Every structure is written in structure tokens, then in C-alpha cells.
A and B are shown apart, each in its own frame.
Chain A
């Protein structure tokens, strides 16, 4: 599925949109880590929690559950929270 990458993580992917696969949001993030080593820990902590200023959207809807089930046609967006002023 298509994943939108925030500018702060372009040093990992080199492109704004990438393809990743998985049946859940966490599985997609794990696939991103497989492709772009190091990216997972910048957005998910060691206790599998979302980082405080990173947000995830699926088809435009904000998602707080990393176990959220996904379909291949879904679009995932990883964004920096608007918390920086």
C-alpha cells in the first residue's frame, strides 16, 4: 500500500511516497523498517507505543491503534503532529 512519509523521515526513504505491505498498521511499520533500517524507532518506542509527536492516518482517519487491520488498497500517512508551534 501507499505510505506518505513526513519530511523529518525523508533521510531514510528519500521519497515522499513509498510502498509497504502488512495486514496491520504495525506490520506496515515493520515492513518500512525492513526497507529503511532505523525508521521504526524514530516513530515507535521500545514498548511499541507511538512517539508523542507522531501521528498515523489511514485513509484520512487518525488511528491510535497500531493493531488496526489494513487492506492492500488503504493509504497510510505518517505525519508530524502539529505540536511544534
Chain B
């Protein structure tokens, strides 16, 4: 390729302009994201567990003591189990429902456009609103005589056997607190539509001729779905897992508005505990430790994705 001197200066000029445009945001991100992450990390290794020690500002390094205390803490242990089960069921629920709705809408039946929008609407609502409304729906009322919400519906339908305490229940199966079920339902309701939108985009991107070819070869709908569509949708599933996974690991507002920590912390999550430790107990170091642990969780999910997608970009 021929390089004329003019082109080179243009390139240089572009480079300078590019850097000047990007520079402020790089600085801002360096300070407000990475700077504060390292500050939080520093606080999490300190003894700043009261307002006065924070204010005095004398830094005393205590190593992993805050982390040790957290992992011995009954509430934090419950939080970790809750996060695990919430994430698993929430991901399964949203992805299964998302695929189902996307497939139905993709069939292009009459009125599918309306449903496509209807399914997507919940995503536009804030988590706080969702939480408040679902907390009314799943409020059990005083059983068995004065049911409320969904329990009342069951009574009207003659399904009294299905009534239970929902998020006020303190039962658990192994480490899974059943009170999480209504929270998972609410979260799934909110984000299944979004997952549907992602899959729908994926499905519409599959060329018709592949499907046609499969049909000619005698594959039925079921086989086409599992052997052709699903493998082609793998990148979509991966993105959905990442996006939904990091939402569920960090979830705060939905749970806070819907159930709070719950009796015996059955619906507590690390983010709520972090908030209470920091802003109610003034235990800033312990709160920071939870923040760092949550960051690590999210990193475990995000970093492999970033690595693969960056590699993909190079290719």
C-alpha cells in the first residue's frame, strides 16, 4: 500500500483527536471506577468499623479479619446460599421462559406483535415498583380464615390446598429457603420478556434456507429446534447468562422493596447486608468486604465472557 505523506499526517491527526476525545472518560473511569474499587479494597482490610475510627482516619491494617468475621456470620452464610439458589432458579426460569415466548412469537401467528410488546413491558418498570406490587400479591394474609392476595385467589378457585405462607415461610429444603420462590417469580416476571427479546433477535437472524434444507431432509420441528436453532443461539444464551447473572448477583432493590431480609433472613441477599452494615451499623470495613466479595462473584461471571468476546473480536 502506498503511503503518501499527507495521509500519514491525517492519520496522526486522527490519532491525536481520538486520544483527546477519549482521554477525559479514561481519566474519569480510572478515578471513579478503578480508583474507588481499590479504595474499597483498602477499607475492607482496615479496622474502620465505627464512625469515629473512620473519621479519625488512622489506617490500621487488619488483614482478612473482616472477611473472616463475615464467613463465620450466620446471616452472611444465609446470604450466600440465597444468592446461589436465587441465581440458579432465576437464570433457569428467565431463559426457559424467554426461549418459549420467543419461539411462540416467532411463529408469526396473528397478534404475536401485541404479545411481543406485552412480554417486554415489565422490563420498563423499576424493580422497586415490581417489588412493591408483588409483595402485595404474595402477602399471605392470616391463614386459613383471612387469606390475601394470591391465597385469596386460590380460595375463590377452590384450591385452598395451594395456600401457603409465600415469602413469610421460614421452611427450607436443605439450604434452599422456600420463601425465595415468590422473589424468583417476581424477578423472572420482570426479565423474561427481555430474554425473549434477545432470543427473538437471534431467531430472526437464522437464515430461512437452513431451516428449509432441514425440512427437506425430513427433520421435524422438535429436531430443528434442538439441532439447528439452539446451537446457533449459543452466543445469545451466553450473553443472556452474563447479563442476567450479574443482575442476580447484585440484586438489591427488588428484594429490599418486596420482602426485606425476611424472618430469619430467609430472603436476605449480600447487597442488603452490605447496605445495613455500612449505613446503619457504621461498620464501613465489613460493608466494604461484602462489596469486594460481590465484585469477585461478578468478575467470575464476566471476565471469561470478556476474554472470549475480545478473542472473537480479534478473529
Binding partners A and B:
no
Chain B residues with a Cβ under 8 A of chain A: none
The interface of chain A, by Cβ under 8 A from chain B, is none
